[in-house]
Chain A
Amino acid sequence: MTDVKVIKTAAETTLANAFAEARARLPGDDAIAAQREAAFELFAKEGLPHRRIEEWKYTDLRALMREAKPLAGAPDAAARERAKTAGALLGDVETRRLVFVDGVFVAELSDLSGLERGLQIGSLAAALAEGDPTVLGHLGKLAPARDVAVALNTAFMGDGAVIRIGAGATIERPLHLLFVASQKPAATFARSLVVAAPGARAMIIEGYEGPAGSEYQVNSALEMVVGDRAHVDLVKIITEGADALHVSTLAAAVAANARFNAFTFTLGGAVIRNQMFLNFDGEDTVAGIRGATLLKDRQHADTTLFANHIAAGCQSREVFKAVLDDDAHGVFQGRIVVRRGAQKTDAKMMTRALLLSERAEADNKPELEIFADDVQCGHGATAGALDEELKFYLMARGIPAAEAEGLLIQAFLGEAIDGIEHAGLREALMERVAAWLKARG
């Protein structure tokens, strides 16, 4: 039985009650149930992450999450109907859509026809119910158990995507995991798993969206195995409703000679925490970890990256750009650790914040910890306003102030967005940036 004596806040109490009520009906066998119990116990002991926990220093969930919303039930017909128009941001980018409403897989909105050779798609709820051995073998092995947000996800996980890409299979059409929140101010805990076998090639788009005016709460986690020589591109698009709380986790293990790119586009939500735990545990991998964030009003978004170079000869490039307007608060914490055995690591991390308002705030914390002696590593961080000289140069050519700023902001973000290999997706994101700029006026 869990020890609940440290639980103090209303949100923590609600979560404890919700777990007590739901534990018996959450999917999975005894082993999964035990995993849930252990995860919940960590939460019960630690409470919600708060500012005295180093990794959560700038995003004090205990303060930001005044209440925990009730667990979302099955989505109703209206919610499913609205989900049909979700994902518009992608424009005409051809994808295979897998739709989750309030964290629950909705088969009739998803495209499961004509699966490419080597591609298997299922739901986590089904995998847990069936006791799928691959899923049971990987679940919880990649995501760090000590992180309380991950622990809560593990305790409550109900559904999500399970994607397997067979050895050597190339999946041309990007797989679009679209997580749509309904109008209900509810809490969802989706958990997904992607296993790319050796030599597999695929692109995953992980999108989050929901209505403004609803204080829904998303805690989503994706565990990913990138096999030897596999090439996986992941693009996460966070465009939640204006009042949403979004916490999402990526935990990936990248094997030898693999290529892995992860890009996060952060634009919508009241409070956003995007955390990444990456293990480069095979030799000679090449990774590009990038992000573009655009915040306004009182939005708060925290990107926290932990890149763990375990094997030798791996290259990683981390580029994170944030544009902060009004009273927005952008956080980037990036920690690259190079283990003793990770000789010839080539890791370079760069993070820049562009402040469009004097009230906007940026916290940049890049860190390097190096235990090997033959490496090339570096990091840089800057925060500042738009370059007035450049703006004047553009204006002197007849470009009005707002348009000049727009060009400079697009150029600033382009440095990160250009890292996406899919041209159509790049354009779709740039268009969303243009719309954001236009709304700014």
Chain B
Amino acid sequence: MALLEVTNLHAGIDGKEILRGVDLAVKAGEVHAIMGPNGSGKSTLAYVFAGKNGYEPTAGEVRFDGKDLFEMEPDERAAAGLFLAFQYPLEIPGVATMTFLRTALNAQRKKRGAPELSTPDFIKRVREVARNLGVDQEMLRRAVNVGFSGGEKKRNEVLQMALLEPRLAVLDETDSGLDIDALKIVADGVNRLRSPQRAFLVITHYQRLLNYIVPDVVHVLSRGRIVKTGGKELALELEARGYAEYQEEAVA
């Protein structure tokens, strides 16, 4: 049984159908990439997984580790091991990054029946993760994402992922807005977490990131459907030929 099983998923925003029958199975240990033109529904898919209000599934189902994802609140999904790195991470004025991280980590641990991490242990963990990702300690002292550059925000998403150690991480265009050095750091962060127990769904518009995070499977999403699935060479093909043909195909 796959860790993530998506069957004939339909979903919409304000009654407008965006996802029109997505089928997808991601096994533990695998890295899948989802590529597709802008507006094809990649972020919608990610939000439906995470449980954002207004992104309503209308048909089909999503099972995560065998459980019906739609029966769970967003925080329960996170505690069960689902992580979404946001395409546009939000700024939370007045909430210190450290408070945010500790609250999140301990809330998840509590839900899983694990004891809360002591403050010194927590600080040690965060420092270590931050060092690995080249995240400045100074950044941790500020309010969540407030005054961060685009690249810093993306790196902060990866830091959260590394700290929370999810079973499935969905990375929504984590590469956009990153220069090549930052991209490598982010990719290193992901690769360090790769394990037989963990899976990744890497959403990207460009092939570039996939040079560093090598996927097992590549899907093309177009107009709310997965229209093609292949190996890592599919990403190179897309890079060379663009998305034009997939846009056409989906319309037809």
Within the complex, the shortest CB–CB distance from B142 to chain A, in Å, comes to 13
Q: On chain A, which size bracket covers the interface?
A: 20 to 34
Q: Considering the chains assembled together, what is the distance between the CA atoms of A411 and B78 in angstroms? A: 23
Q: Are A395 and B94 in contact (CB under 8 A)?
A: no
Asked if A397 is at the interface (CB within 8 A of a chain B CB), the reply is: yes
Q: Are B78 and A396 in contact (CB under 8 A)?
A: yes
Q: Are A395 and B73 in contact (CB under 8 A)?
A: yes
Binary flags per residue of A385-400, CB closer than 8 Å to B gives 1, else 0: 0001110111111111
Chain B residues whose CB sits within 8 angstroms of the CB of A410 once the complex forms: 94-95
Q: Considering the chains assembled together, what is the distance between the CA atoms of A414 and B99 in angstroms? A: 14
Which residue of A388, A395, A407, A414 contacts B100 across the interface (Cβ within 8 Å)? A407
Q: Considering the chains assembled together, what is the distance between the CA atoms of A263 and B182 in angstroms? A: 44
Q: What are 19 A-B residue pairs whose CB atoms fall within 8 Å in the complex?
A: A392-B53, A394-B103, A396-B84, A397-B100, A397-B107, A397-B160, A398-B75, A399-B75, A399-B103, A400-B75, A401-B73, A407-B95, A408-B92, A410-B95, A411-B92, A411-B95, A414-B94, A415-B93, A415-B94
Q: Are B52 and A392 in contact (CB under 8 A)?
A: yes
Q: Considering the chains assembled together, what is the distance between the CA atoms of A400 and B109 in angstroms? A: 12
Q: Are B107 and A408 in contact (CB under 8 A)?
A: no
- Using A388-B53, A393-B86 as known contacts, say yes or no to A411 and B94 having CB atoms under 8 A apart: yes
Q: Which of B51, B79, B84, B103 has the most CB of A within 10 A?
A: B103
Within the complex, the shortest CB–CB distance from A323 to chain B, in Å, comes to 13
Asked if A403 is at the interface (CB within 8 A of a chain B CB), the reply is: yes
Chain A residues whose CB sits within 8 angstroms of the CB of B129 once the complex forms: none
Q: Are A396 and B99 in contact (CB under 8 A)?
A: no
Asked if A412 is at the interface (CB within 8 A of a chain B CB), the reply is: yes
Q: Are B52 and A398 in contact (CB under 8 A)?
A: no
Q: Are B79 and A393 in contact (CB under 8 A)?
A: no
Q: Are A398 and B107 in contact (CB under 8 A)?
A: yes
Q: Are A399 and B95 in contact (CB under 8 A)?
A: no
Chain B residue at smallest Cβ distance from A412: B94
Asked if B131 is at the interface (CB within 8 A of a chain A CB), the reply is: no
Q: Considering the chains assembled together, what is the distance between the CA atoms of A226 and B64 in angstroms? A: 65
Chain A residue at smallest Cβ distance from B78: A398
Within the complex, the shortest CB–CB distance from A382 to chain B, in Å, comes to 13
Additional 17 contacts, C-beta under 8 A, given A392-B50, A401-B73, A407-B99: A390-B92, A392-B52, A393-B89, A394-B104, A396-B51, A396-B74, A396-B77, A397-B78, A397-B100, A397-B107, A398-B164, A399-B104, A400-B107, A407-B92, A411-B93, A411-B94, A412-B94
Chain B residues whose CB sits within 8 angstroms of the CB of A389 once the complex forms: 90
From 88 to 113 in chain B, residues with beta carbon under 8 angstroms from any chain A beta carbon are 89-90, 92-95, 99-100, 103-105, 107-108, 111
Chain A residue at smallest Cβ distance from B92: A390
Chain B residues whose CB sits within 8 angstroms of the CB of A408 once the complex forms: 92, 95
Binary flags per residue of A402-441, CB closer than 8 Å to B gives 1, else 0: 0110011011101100000000000000000000000000
Q: Are A397 and B104 in contact (CB under 8 A)?
A: yes
Chain A residues whose CB sits within 8 angstroms of the CB of B75 once the complex forms: 395-401, 404
**Interface size counted on chain B using CB atoms at 8 A:** 29
Chain A residues whose CB sits within 8 angstroms of the CB of B95 once the complex forms: 407-408, 410-411
Chain B residues whose CB sits within 8 angstroms of the CB of A388 once the complex forms: 53
- Using A392-B52, A407-B103 as known contacts, say yes or no to A398 and B79 having CB atoms under 8 A apart: yes
Chain B residues whose CB sits within 8 angstroms of the CB of A397 once the complex forms: 75, 78, 100, 104, 107-108, 160, 164
Chain B residues whose CB sits within 8 angstroms of the CB of A392 once the complex forms: 50, 52-53, 74
Q: Considering the chains assembled together, what is the distance between the CA atoms of A56 and B229 in angstroms? A: 69
Chain A residues whose CB sits within 8 angstroms of the CB of B164 once the complex forms: 397-398
Within the complex, the shortest CB–CB distance from B91 to chain A, in Å, comes to 9
User: What is the interface of chain A, defined by CB distance below 8 A to chain B?
Assistant: 388-390, 392-401, 403-404, 407-408, 410-412, 414-415
Within the complex, the shortest CB–CB distance from A420 to chain B, in Å, comes to 15
Q: Are B90 and A393 in contact (CB under 8 A)?
A: yes
From 38 to 88 in chain B, residues with beta carbon under 8 angstroms from any chain A beta carbon are 50-53, 73-75, 77-79, 84, 86
Q: Which of B74, B103, B143 has the most CB of A within 10 A?
A: B74
Q: Are B107 and A399 in contact (CB under 8 A)?
A: yes
Q: Considering the chains assembled together, what is the distance between the CA atoms of A411 and B90 in angstroms? A: 15
Which residue of B53, B89, B103 contacts A403 across the interface (Cβ within 8 Å)? B103
Chain A residue at smallest Cβ distance from B166: A398
Chain B residues whose CB sits within 8 angstroms of the CB of A395 once the complex forms: 51, 73-75, 78
- Using A403-B103, A403-B107 as known contacts, say yes or no to A396 and B92 having CB atoms under 8 A apart: no
Q: Which of B50, B89, B92 has the most CB of A within 10 A?
A: B92
- Using A392-B53, A403-B103, A407-B100 as known contacts, say yes or no to A398 and B92 having CB atoms under 8 A apart: no
Within the complex, the shortest CB–CB distance from A432 to chain B, in Å, comes to 17
Which residue of A393, A400, A401, A403 contacts B92 across the interface (Cβ within 8 Å)? A393
Q: Considering the chains assembled together, what is the distance between the CA atoms of A414 and B86 in angstroms? A: 26
Q: Considering the chains assembled together, what is the distance between the CA atoms of A389 and B107 in angstroms? A: 19
Q: Considering the chains assembled together, what is the distance between the CA atoms of A396 and B108 in angstroms? A: 11
Chain B residues whose CB sits within 8 angstroms of the CB of A399 once the complex forms: 75, 103-104, 107
Q: Considering the chains assembled together, what is the distance between the CA atoms of A392 and B86 in angstroms? A: 11
Q: Considering the chains assembled together, what is the distance between the CA atoms of A396 and B164 in angstroms? A: 11
Q: Considering the chains assembled together, what is the distance between the CA atoms of A414 and B107 in angstroms? A: 22
Within the complex, the shortest CB–CB distance from A395 to chain B, in Å, comes to 4
Chain B residues whose CB sits within 8 angstroms of the CB of A415 once the complex forms: 93-94
- Using A388-B53, A392-B52, A392-B74 as known contacts, say yes or no to A398 and B111 having CB atoms under 8 A apart: yes
Chain A residues whose CB sits within 8 angstroms of the CB of B86 once the complex forms: 393, 396
Within the complex, the shortest CB–CB distance from B228 to chain A, in Å, comes to 29
Which residue of A390, A401, A407 contacts B90 across the interface (Cβ within 8 Å)? A390
Within the complex, the shortest CB–CB distance from B83 to chain A, in Å, comes to 8
Q: Considering the chains assembled together, what is the distance between the CA atoms of A411 and B92 in angstroms? A: 8
Chain A residue at smallest Cβ distance from B77: A396
Q: Considering the chains assembled together, what is the distance between the CA atoms of A408 and B84 in angstroms? A: 20
Binary flags per residue of B99-134, CB closer than 8 Å to A gives 1, else 0: 110011101100100000000000000000000000
Within the complex, the shortest CB–CB distance from A387 to chain B, in Å, comes to 9
Q: Considering the chains assembled together, what is the distance between the CA atoms of A399 and B78 in angstroms? A: 8
Within the complex, the shortest CB–CB distance from A407 to chain B, in Å, comes to 5
Q: Considering the chains assembled together, what is the distance between the CA atoms of A407 and B89 in angstroms? A: 17
Q: Considering the chains assembled together, what is the distance between the CA atoms of A411 and B143 in angstroms? A: 10
Within the complex, the shortest CB–CB distance from A176 to chain B, in Å, comes to 28
Within the complex, the shortest CB–CB distance from B52 to chain A, in Å, comes to 5
Q: Considering the chains assembled together, what is the distance between the CA atoms of A411 and B93 in angstroms? A: 7
10 tightest Cβ-Cβ pairs between the two chains A and B: A411-B94, A398-B78, A397-B104, A398-B108, A395-B74, A395-B75, A393-B90, A414-B94, A411-B95, A398-B107
